[in-house]
Amino acid sequence: MKNLKTLSIPSILLAVAVLATGCHKTEKTTVETNGMGPAQTAGKTVDDAGANAAQATREGAARTEAAADRAGDNARDAAQRAGDKMSEAAARTDAAARDAGQDIKQGASNATDAAGRGLEHAGKKMQDASK
């Protein structure tokens, strides 16, 4: 039992020494690690990757929003042009309808005049026939 106690104390001291030397920061101090240990370096890498992904997402969203704005502007412009063309077509149709109406009025007037002349001629013939 006594040997067990003497063996266990040096074993404990050896274990403490191993743990103490194995759990310190790296002795290399470089620009990349800034004296950080492996866990800190890994954490920084994960944080940097998250920040880069968030930035890429923000940039992608901004590009998508800009594209949607351009598409909306193009649609508004196209609708305005279509409306302008419809107004022009309506104006041309209105003018053509007025011209056609004038032609119809003139044609009706000519037909009425011709019918009146025909009736007048027929009336004269009837008067001549009755004499």
Mean pLDDT by 10 residues, the chain (131 residues): 53 62 52 69 82 88 91 90 87 83 82 83 79 70
Rounded to whole angstroms, the maximal C-alpha distance in the chain is: 173
Task: State pTM to two decimals.
Answer: 0.40
Residue 20, Cβ density class (10 Å: 0-12 exposed, 13-18 middle, ≥19 buried): exposed
Angle (nearest 5°) at CA 86 between 85 and 88 = 65
pLDDT of residue 54: 85
Alpha carbon distance 76, 62 (integer Å): 21
pLDDT of residue 5: 47
pLDDT of residue 36: 72
